[in-house]
Structure 1
Amino acid sequence: MRSESDSATDQVFKALADDTRRRLLDRLHERSGQTLGQLCEHIDMRRQSVTQHLAVLEAANLVATVRRGREKLHYLNPVPLHDIQERWIDKFERPRLRVLNEVKRRAEEAMADKPTFVYVTYIASTPEGVWDALTDAGLTAAYWGHSNVSDWRPGSRWEHVRTDGSGVADVVGTVVESERPTRLVTTWAAPGEEGQPERHSRVTFEIRPHADIVRLTVVHEDLADEGALAEVSQGWPAVLSNLKSLLETGRTLPQEPWLVPSG
């Protein structure tokens, strides 16, 4: 019997089999967060046809979309490609390919200003349940190792406070938008950088029903440099996997995933 993982992998391979869809992914790799019009500038094809190709990429979870006012922005979601790499490539050529990939990644990121990280996950919960898991101090303490503390009103301060009893906040910021249970936007800064807005990053949580489950999109933008991007690229998947486990099973993962050495 085929697993859900195999079915998802089939969708990814099917999406990648088309040259137009591969070119769309190339465009988003060059610059993520493009509108349909911007993508159409590089594709000799009618907008309706490009829209259909983007729908296939979204269904395969290779592209994530975020609404900004009246615009719909498209982001490359690297998670399915990473899964395929782990399953089909890394185990055969792991050391050499990782070195080459790191060289390539550093060269590409060095040319980009203010990199953006986008992550999409699907959770068997309700939008309200996911919202509470992101904003309730007790729940965030259970799966994140920190308590997110705020009244979550636009303009209010929020803090990411350690759970060791010290009361120390490792991240502080401002609530920019708060629309329970669908959208939360916050700024992020180190405690000593609150008065330096040019050093703040921005995190957007989009929570949307997806059939009987929830699609959670996390966009972390205005990151300082490639080092910050590398850090959040490891941190967010670990935190959100723990959140997903808590909401779906009532338990966090056996060990905090950010403490497990990558291998």
Structure 2
Amino acid sequence: MDMVFKALADDTRRRLLDLLRERNGRTLGELCAPIDMARQSVTQHLAVLEAANLVVTVRRGREKLHYLNPVPLHEIEERWIGRFERPRLRVLSDVKRRAEEAMTDKPTFVYVTYIASTPEKVWDALTDADLTAVYWGHSNVSDWRTGSRWEHVRIDGSGIADVVGTVVESERPTRLVTTWTEPENEGREDMYSRVTFDLRPHGDIVRLTVTHEDLRTERDVADVSLGWPAVLSNLKSLLETGRPLPQEPWSVPAE
């Protein structure tokens, strides 16, 4: 948390975050253009923001795109704001929605978390039907081969899938790409979104980046902005403690 406040204390770094809030997914050149500062200096400021986990980067071909990461802001909101003034994550949802309104073919939501585990265990937690049932409330069912169908199945015994899709890429334990849609829209390419899980060793822990793109409406963006932090917090708890969180993080506690 000290690194977050140090990063936020500088006016230039706050300006860079404002630029990403206005339009997420910018290149270094796009961030340098409105700032009267040498490219090397902007790069150094971005490095501080990345070290504080306030900015994350995603490679798209030869481009390196920068995204505002909600995780540290979520922690600040939860610790000092949410319990007193606002429902949990409402501020972050609004920030993400405004930042992503202008996005077109770029990822519409990027979330990064760090887990004290191995890439293999994180991969298995994302793809094992029994494990996903424990922390997600659904079972992810597939053979996870490229081109295979996958389903996000309720655990109430009904066998009903709320999400279906195709495995686009499957490289255990580093990368999994899937398409997502509701069952009634299966086969309609314009109704699919796309989720990429990138798993990278980070010292003795794992850096998990989730990129959810091709979301169609503002409501979809708001839903995933709340949903992914909840699901991944539960996943992190399960892998680090052996238990999911004591309360489903997507449920609303009684007043």
TM-score (norm 2): 0.88
Equivalent of residue 24 in structure 2, options 29, 32, 36: 32
| Contact map agreement 1:113 1:225 (CA 8 A) in 2 | no
1:103 CA drift (Å): 11
CA distance in 2, matches of 1:57, 1:106: 17
What is residue 3 of structure 1 aligned with on the other side? none
* Equivalent position SS for 2:244: coil
* Equivalent position SS for 1:257: coil
1:77 CA drift (Å): 0.7
CA distance in 1, matches of 2:183, 2:97: 31
1:147-183 per-position Cα deviation (integer Å, ceiling 9, x unaligned): 1112222222111111122111100111122221111
1:131 CA drift (Å): 0.8
Task: Pick closer, same or farther for the CA change 1:239–1:22 going to 2, 3 Å.
Answer: same
1:249 CA drift (Å): 1.1
The list of structure 1 runs, each at least 4 consecutive aligned residues, that deviate by more than 6 angstroms after superposition, is: none
Task: Pick closer, same or farther for the CA change 1:38–1:113 going to 2, 3 Å.
Answer: closer
Equivalent of residue 42 in structure 2, options 38, 50, 59: 50
* Structure 2, unaligned runs of 5 or more: none
* Structure 1, unaligned runs of 5 or more: 1-7
1:130 CA drift (Å): 0.6
What is residue 208 of structure 1 aligned with on the other side? 200
Amino acid at match of 1:171: V
What is residue 120 of structure 2 aligned with on the other side? 128
More helix by share: 1
What is residue 108 of structure 1 aligned with on the other side? 98
1:98-141 per-position Cα deviation (integer Å, ceiling 9, x unaligned): 99x69976993795356812211111000111111111111111
Number of residue pairs aligned between Structure 1 and Structure 2: 252
1:45 CA drift (Å): 2.6
| Contact map agreement 1:109 1:226 (CA 8 A) in 2 | no
* Equivalent position SS for 2:14: helix
Task: Pick closer, same or farther for the CA change 1:151–1:69 going to 2, 3 Å.
Answer: farther
Equivalent of residue 71 in structure 1, options 42, 55, 63: 63
Amino acid at match of 1:201: S
CA RMSD of aligned residues (A): 2.7
CA distance in 2, matches of 1:66, 1:48: 20
What is residue 195 of structure 1 aligned with on the other side? 187
Amino acid at match of 2:79: R
